[in-house]
Amino acid sequence: MSPPELLAPAGDLEKLETALAYGADGVYAGGEQFGLRALAGNFSLEQLARARELTRRRGKRLYLTLNAYLKPGETDDCRRYLEHLRSLDLDAYIVADPGLITLLREVDPGRELHLSTQANTTNAEAAEFWRRTGIRRVNLARELTLEEIRAVAAGTRVELEVFVHGALCVAYSGRCLLSAALTGRSANRGLCTQPCRWNYALMEETRPGQFLAIEEDARGSYLLNSRDLCLIEHLPELLAAGVHSLKIEGRMKSRYYVAAVTRVYRAALDRYLADPVNYVCDPLWLEELDKVSHRPYSKGFLFGTEDPQLHPGDARYRRSHDFVGVVLRVDEAGRALVEGRNRFFPGEELELIGPGMRQVRFTVGLLAAEDGTPRTVAQPNARLLLDVPVGAQAGDLLRREH
């Protein structure tokens, strides 16, 4: 097997550059049509060309999600879109619909294809079926246990990919109709309103208007909320089971999320590859993953012994840190040009983080505009000069404990 791949989300060009800088081997992005994140910062054809240039320059891979299921009447539009995409020479398309796969084989027969988790592949026979149709890699259904992943790997020659981190849908591998039923906006068309995250209460039909508490929680019950996935502690087991690509969820997440999560999994994967026998999970990695906005973490179905489907308690997001700025450049004197993301003030303690698990706390000193005019506060989107710790680089991020 070739070295395992760390695959990170790219919701827009800025996040793509961040994922690459913080250690991703490959990134997956969405175009303006036929993906399942219609509300993400999807890439135009021109932006995809720029993304292709950036990934190729770094020796990384770029995958485009085309995992929607076509409806009658969409074939011609899809064919035209695929013809435009062909010249971009992307590394692979992530697909689910056999009809779209058929179109791709007609329009762009040499393109590598990866099967989306939307196809819900749960056994080796299915994986082999897809391999025989020309699929190079299968993203397995998230419902599988580690033993089941191992069994699939033993029975197929196709590459296997699994999600290791991020939000989980109530339907786990997708194909959920809840949003379509309640709001008319279909998750399977990229327009999910996430009704599984809403507050629900139980009402018995002969007692209209009487909402019965399932749990003693003043905010209501959270019947459909899944915990977030976090498998950082189990990378050795997954790789030993035959997994080729470790995928991070989050095309609609922030630049800070992409940076913070990608760098942790990069550090863990590098340590494992350097010394598999003596690999242990660093507690720092778990601490860092707690510093991004997330629901309580779980191991999903990996071991089949937990109840990973619903979170029985507090389903609100946890957020211990705020992303407050990004370093645009640093001069030789250690003076940085920073673009604000949230307000911060002189005298506040911030933490700078960068690729390779670099992180250091510092106290904000004097702030100034680019022309040197003193400032008393850093505002969102404002560009300001300030002193930063030694070793800071363009692309580093600033955060503040919440």
* pLDDT above 60 for 214: no
Predicted local confidence at residue 125, as pLDDT: 98
Q: Could you write out the three-class secondary structure of 332-397?
A: CCCEEEEEECCCECCCCEEEEEEHHHEEEEEECCCEEECCCCEECCECCCCEEEEECCCCCCCCCE
Predicted local confidence at residue 391, as pLDDT: 95
Predicted local confidence at residue 350, as pLDDT: 98
* pLDDT above 80 for 347: yes
Q: Which structure tokens are listed for 194?
A: 């996430």
Distance CA 94, CA 117 (A): 9
Average pLDDT over residues 120-133: 96
* pLDDT above 70 for 148: yes
Predicted local confidence at residue 217, as pLDDT: 47
Mean pLDDT taken over the chain: 89
Predicted local confidence at residue 42, as pLDDT: 83
What are the residues facing 95 on neighbouring strands?
66, 115
* pLDDT above 60 for 398: yes
The burial class, CB within 10 Å (0-12 / 13-18 / 19+), for 76 is: exposed
324 contacts 350 by C-beta, under 8 angstroms: yes
Task: Show Cβ contacts of residue 205 under 8 Å, excluding neighbours closer than 6 positions.
Answer: none
389 contacts 333 by C-beta, under 8 angstroms: no
**For 181, phi and psi rounded to 5 degrees?**
-70, -40
Distance CA 122, CA 152 (A): 8
* pLDDT above 60 for 205: yes
Q: Please, which pLDDT band fits residue 139 given cuts at 50, 70 and 90? A: very high
- 3-class secondary structure, 242: coil
- Tens of pLDDT along 224-251? 667 789 999 999 999 999 999 999 999 8
Q: Please, which pLDDT band fits residue 219 given cuts at 50, 70 and 90? A: very low
Q: Which structure tokens are listed for 142?
A: 């998230």
Predicted local confidence at residue 213, as pLDDT: 52
* pLDDT above 50 for 355: yes
The burial class, CB within 10 Å (0-12 / 13-18 / 19+), for 11 is: buried
- Tens of pLDDT along 360-378? 999 999 999 999 999 999 9
Q: Please, which pLDDT band fits residue 175 given cuts at 50, 70 and 90? A: low
Class of domain 5-174+225-298: alpha beta
* pLDDT above 90 for 193: no
341 contacts 326 by C-beta, under 8 angstroms: yes
Average pLDDT over residues 254-261: 96
Predicted local confidence at residue 312, as pLDDT: 47
Going by C-alpha positions, the residue among 116, 105, 5 that lies closest to residue 64 is: 116
Q: What percent of the chain has pLDDT over 70?
A: 87
**Residues forming CATH 2.40.30.10 domain(s) in the chain:** 321-401
Alpha helices in 40-184 (DSSP H): 45-58, 75-86, 98-107, 124-132, 146-154, 178-183
**Residues forming CATH 3.20.20.70 domain(s) in the chain:** 5-174+225-298
Triad 94, 98, 100: Cα angle to 5°: 65
In CATH terms, is domain 321-401 a member of 1.10.287.3510? no
The b/e string for 158-188 (b: 16+ C-beta within 10 A; e otherwise) is bbbbbbbbbbbbbbbbbebebbbeeeeebbb
Predicted local confidence at residue 268, as pLDDT: 98
What are the residues facing 161 on neighbouring strands?
139, 245
Predicted local confidence at residue 327, as pLDDT: 98
- Look at the block and give the residue holding tokens 């800025």: 14
